[in-house]
Chain A
Amino acid sequence: GAVVSQHPSRVICKSGTSVKIECRSLDFQATTMFWYRQFPKQSLMLMATSNEGSKATYEQGVEKDKFLINHASLTLSTLTVTSAHPEDSSFYICSANDGTSGETQYFGPGTRLLVL
């Protein structure tokens, strides 16, 4: 149980385009999902908390107009990187709390974004 999927696993795009990343909880409902960014050999940096049916809560320094988050259902949250630039290239990982095990977070497999 507690399986989280992410799509796509890898994406290459041109500067100026937008990229959407999907995070799905496959066997449970997640009222809260989290989006992280991870640079090579570094820790997980929380970008925002995605709440089903309401606006996301962004961490300090994360541009909400740049990283659009939508959590339209209990099993799906999306992160859209708008007007991507090369500095947005990174590994983006989502996680979800299954609601039955307290604050345990289960991670998706991640999406590697390369902006040319």
Chain B
Amino acid sequence: GENVEQHPSTLSVQEGDSAVIKCTYSDSASNYFPWYKQELGKRPQLIIDIRSNVGEKKDQRIAVTLNKTAKHFSLHITETQPEDSAVYFCAANGSGNTGKLIFGQGTTLQVKP
């Protein structure tokens, strides 16, 4: 079935360093890949997304890259700040035009001041 794998499960970086989270997906028909940030006890917030017609998208310190051939996509956060500390989830849309999203397992990012 449809599956999204996310790595690493935890990531600790020093403030100012970069953080990279990687995901792979199984359904070659997937064409929409959002990333969500979830703080403890809060709702997931969309931070960036990418569609399959582009290979990279950037929004200030956040960028996402997509390799459709390899079925990989990654989140890059540069100049990390303590407020970036949260759980990050990648997702891919399911096939069949249902609007469903299949989520990765999540990455807990800790940015040390």
Contacts and interface: CB of A to CB of B under 8 A. Distances in A.
Contact of A43 (B34, B41, B89, B93): B89
A93 B42 CA distance: 10
Contact of B100 (A46, A102, A106): A46
A93 B44 CA distance: 9
Contacts, number: 50
Interface SS of B by simple majority? strand
A103 B105 contact: no
Contacts of B99: 32, 34, 49, 97, 103, 105
Prevailing SS type, chain A contact patch: strand
Contact of A57 (B43, B98, B104): B98
B43 A104 contact: no
Nearest to A44: B103
Interface of B: 32, 34, 36, 41-46, 49, 51, 89, 93, 98-106, 108
Interface of A: 32, 34, 41-44, 46, 49, 57, 93, 97, 102-110
